[in-house]
Amino acid sequence: MPAPHLLASRHILVTGAGDGIGRAAALALAEHGASVILLGRTASKLEKVYDEIERRGWPQPALLPLDLAQAAPAHYEQVAHTVEKEFGHLDGLLHNAADAGTLTPIELYDPETWYRVMQLNLNAAWLLTRACLPLLRKSADASIVFTTADVGREGRAYWGAYGVSCFGLEGLMQILAAEVASEGRLRANSLNPGAVRTAMRSRLYPGEDVEKLPRPEDIMPAYLYLLGPDSRGVNGQALNAHDFLAHHFSC
Ligand SMILES: NC(=O)c1ccc[n+]([C@@H]2O[C@H](COP(=O)([O-])OP(=O)(O)OC[C@H]3O[C@@H](n4cnc5c(N)ncnc54)[C@H](OP(=O)(O)O)[C@@H]3O)[C@@H](O)[C@H]2O)c1
């Protein structure tokens, strides 16, 4: 089990921190001692997470409302500047915000939806990583986690821009991991949460019995592992939260 103060004095930025897996990750990271920078689209959702962290007496978080599908490169530089001013450096970056787009055959896929999904899921992750790398390099032990999915590891019909963006994230992670490998202090990995009970999952699988799905809270040990000191030296890996849990909690 993760030690209670596993992430003490770490500064970790989470995208899509207002809902679903990102919300659960922000709370779990704060509970384990991290100062969490809550980035997301809907300010009111972020404020609720902020208030919960404050109410529980966990380290003071920070709020960064930003629509990643609309943001220009200068906005990402501004995010990095704000984080530097407030925290000095970053120890973790969890790319989690995503839009699943539509389930549509490639030849019928709407170009505007395609552009929006690629901008949020893939380009924003690259732009934010690019802007934050100098802050991550100031940490003695920094971890970047790209959230992906099954459909980004094996092509499946109709998953369109979402599937392609997840393949892109795996490629981005591998290239970055190869570039930083010799530095030793910085690592990049991808994490597939698997099926989890969230709004995105319900939109994609409306007939599913959600009670049979794990809750976001249930998969947090994998996030705490990847964003904490225990995963030091793990770089360039494509991991699955369910495999991680089965391996570590099978007894
Ligand atoms: N749930 C699953 O079964 C599953 C399976 C495989 C992979 N994943 C991956 O896990 C991650 C989290 O998914 P989830 O299921 O937790 O989804 P979710 O419940 O829909 O949450 C997505 C989060 O992303 C934020 N977001 C959406 N558009 C944004 C934008 N333009 N700018 C900034 N933030 C934006 C949302 O903010 P608002 O609420 O303000 O819109 C929300 O906080 C995603 O990368 C997803 O691809 C999930």
For ligand 1, pick from 21, 50, 117 the residue to mutate: most ligand atoms within 8 Å of CB: 21
Active site annotation includes 223: no
Tell me the per-residue pLDDT of 18-40, one tens digit each, with 9 for 90 and over: 999 999 999 999 999 999 999 99
- Decide: 117 in ligand 1 pocket, CB within 6 A: no
Q: Is the predicted pLDDT of residue 103 greater than 80, yes or no?
A: yes
Q: Which domains does the chain have, with CATH numbers?
A: 11-249 (3.40.50.720)
pLDDT score, position 250: 63
Closest among 20, 109, 112, 118 to 69, alpha carbons compared: 118
- Decide: 22 in ligand 1 pocket, CB within 6 A: yes
Tell me the per-residue pLDDT of 40-63, one tens digit each, with 9 for 90 and over: 999 999 999 999 999 999 999 999
State which H helix or E strand residue 243 sits in. helix 241-249
d(CA 196, CA 41): 21
- Decide: 43 in ligand 1 pocket, CB within 6 A: no
Average predicted confidence (pLDDT) for the chain: 96
Nearest CA to ligand 1 atom 17: 200
